[in-house]
């Protein structure tokens, strides 16, 4: 038996070669899609590989069987031309679907391997640039690996015929999809008490003043301040200054009794904004003291304030310490002091908490922006 492998752009071309060399009596033993050329599977050309065989004794046996088959054929109803076409079409669809499925499986394996290695030379130039920017922006390796896998698959399905802008839009879409189950919104104004907590130096007092200013100036509400930050005299003086500017009262609370008294005093006010002390986030005793001082009831909306300049591990450690307190959402400050904001994705995905606001300066009531998925993605990536 003569066996030979043929490679051609299509099955039709392969059959022509087989017929010309082996004749019409050749038998197809196997066929599969292959890719030739390119680099590591990228930009490779799709071809068909066919294994054909011819037995020299086949013509003789065929002649013996021809008469029998013709006799049987004469007794069977003729297959119409349309039925043959339908049969060929169905066969072609099945083959193409199987081929496409195999392509996708192989492609995903390749993409997973490439993304985990993160060697830039594996990617087309436009994707290399995007990977570099994700690394520079300090996006978690697992997250950027997932994003690059999807982008490479998108590139592959489009045969590389995509523009930089199309890739950027796809990247935005993928990041927004990651955040789809996380709630983004500012102060709901459904609860009387609005509280900010967080470590020292993140800008809690200034952030609280910005939120209160919005409530006073834009919503025309009657508000008051309570501060429990008695550890820093400067913090009390800072909040007094903001209270004077906004023309709102302020109570300083040193104990639980002081806090209860302040609540009674401000009972007729629309909203009470509470500032808490900034302490070492590694000290769990601080959080315990905070729980004793403030009654975190259903009437309170609490925001954890974090600095965008901090490391992801530190922000997650802060969240863990404060998680014994019901945290509604996050506020990220100092967005103007860093260009490596990828850590925000890591914190949101691991805590399952959305961002309410971002701040980018010290000006009150300016330099604060309500967050949405789209805005956050743009702020982090662009």
- Identify the residue with better confidence: 278 or 128: 128
State how far the Cα of 174 lies from the Cα of 158, in Å rounded to an integer: 17
- For the chain, how many residues are written? 382
Average confidence (pLDDT) over 194-217: 92
State how far the Cα of 172 lies from the Cα of 269, in Å rounded to an integer: 42
pLDDT in tens, 270-285: 999 999 876 666 667 6
pLDDT for 298 equals 67
Q: Say if residue 60's pLDDT is above 60.
A: no
**pLDDT more than 90, % of the chain:** 42
State how far the Cα of 60 lies from the Cα of 271, in Å rounded to an integer: 99
- Does the domain spanning 193-381 belong to CATH 1.10.20.140? no
Average confidence (pLDDT) over 8-30: 78
State how far the Cα of 275 lies from the Cα of 294, in Å rounded to an integer: 11
When the pLDDT of each residue in the chain is averaged and rounded to a whole number, the result is: 80
Q: Say if residue 155's pLDDT is above 90.
A: no
State how far the Cα of 96 lies from the Cα of 200, in Å rounded to an integer: 62
Q: Going by C-beta distance under 8 Å and a sequence separation of 6 or more, which residues neighbour residue 350?
A: 316
Which of 103-112, 140-149, 215-224, 361-370 is predicted with the least confidence, judged by mean pLDDT?
103-112
pLDDT for 106 equals 57
- All structural domains of the chain with their residue ranges: 1-71, 111-178, 193-381
Average confidence (pLDDT) over 18-25: 80
Q: Say if residue 320's pLDDT is above 80.
A: yes
pLDDT band at 39 (very low <50, low <70, confident <90, very high): low
Q: Say if residue 90's pLDDT is above 90.
A: no
pLDDT for 323 equals 86
Closest to 378 in 3D by CA, of 115, 212, 75, 171: 171
pLDDT band at 72 (very low <50, low <70, confident <90, very high): very low
Partnered with residue 4 across adjacent β-strands are: 52
Q: What is the CA radius of gyration of the chain?
A: 34
Q: Say if residue 215's pLDDT is above 90.
A: yes
Closest to 46 in 3D by CA, of 34, 64, 56: 34
Phi, psi torsion values for 273, nearest 5 degrees: -100, 125
């Amino acid at each position: 038996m003569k066996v030979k492998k043929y490679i051609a752009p299509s099955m039709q071309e392969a059959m022509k070669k087989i017929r010309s060399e082996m004749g019409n009596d050749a038998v197809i033993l196997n066929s599969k899609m292959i890719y030739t050329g390119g680099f590591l599977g990228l930009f490779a050309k799709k071809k068909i590989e066919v294994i054909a065989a011819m037995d020299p004794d086949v013509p003789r046996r065929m002649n013996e069987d021809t008469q029998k088959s013709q006799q049987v054929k004469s007794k069977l109803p003729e297959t119409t031309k349309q039925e043959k076409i339908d049969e060929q079409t169905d066969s072609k669809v099945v083959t193409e679907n199987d081929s496409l499925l195999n392509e996708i499986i192989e492609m995903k394996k390749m993409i997973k391997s490439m993304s985990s290695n993160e060697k830039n030379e594996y990617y087309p130039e436009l994707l290399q640039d995007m990977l570099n920017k994700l690394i520079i922006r300090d996006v978690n390796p697992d997250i950027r690996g997932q994003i690059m896998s999807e982008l490479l698959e998108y590139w592959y399905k489009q045969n590389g015929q995509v523009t930089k802008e199309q890739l950027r839009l796809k990247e935005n879409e993928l990041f927004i999809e990651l955040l789809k189950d996380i709630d983004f919104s500012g102060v709901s104004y459904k609860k009387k008490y609005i509280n900010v907590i967080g470590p020292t130096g993140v800008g809690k007092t200034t952030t609280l003043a910005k939120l209160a200013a919005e409530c006073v100036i834009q919503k025309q509400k009657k508000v008051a301040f309570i501060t429990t930050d008695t550890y820093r005299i400067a913090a009390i003086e800072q909040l007094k200054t903001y209270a004077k500017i906004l023309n709102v009262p302020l109570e300083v609370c040193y104990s639980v009794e002081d806090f209860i008294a302040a609540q009674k005093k401000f009972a007729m006010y629309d909203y009470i904004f509470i500032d808490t002390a900034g302490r070492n986030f590694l000290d769990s005793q601080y959080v315990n003291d905070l729980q004793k001082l403030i009654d975190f009831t259903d009437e309170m909306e609490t925001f954890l304030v974090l600095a965008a300049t901090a490391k992801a591990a530190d922000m997650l450690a802060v969240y863990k310490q404060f998680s014994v307190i019901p945290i509604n959402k996050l506020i990220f400050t100092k967005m103007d002091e860093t260009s490596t904001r990828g850590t925000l994705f890591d914190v949101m995905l691991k805590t399952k908490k959305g961002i309410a606001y971002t701040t980018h300066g010290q000006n009150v009531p300016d330099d604060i922006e309500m967050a949405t998925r789209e805005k956050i993605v743009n702020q982090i990536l662009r």
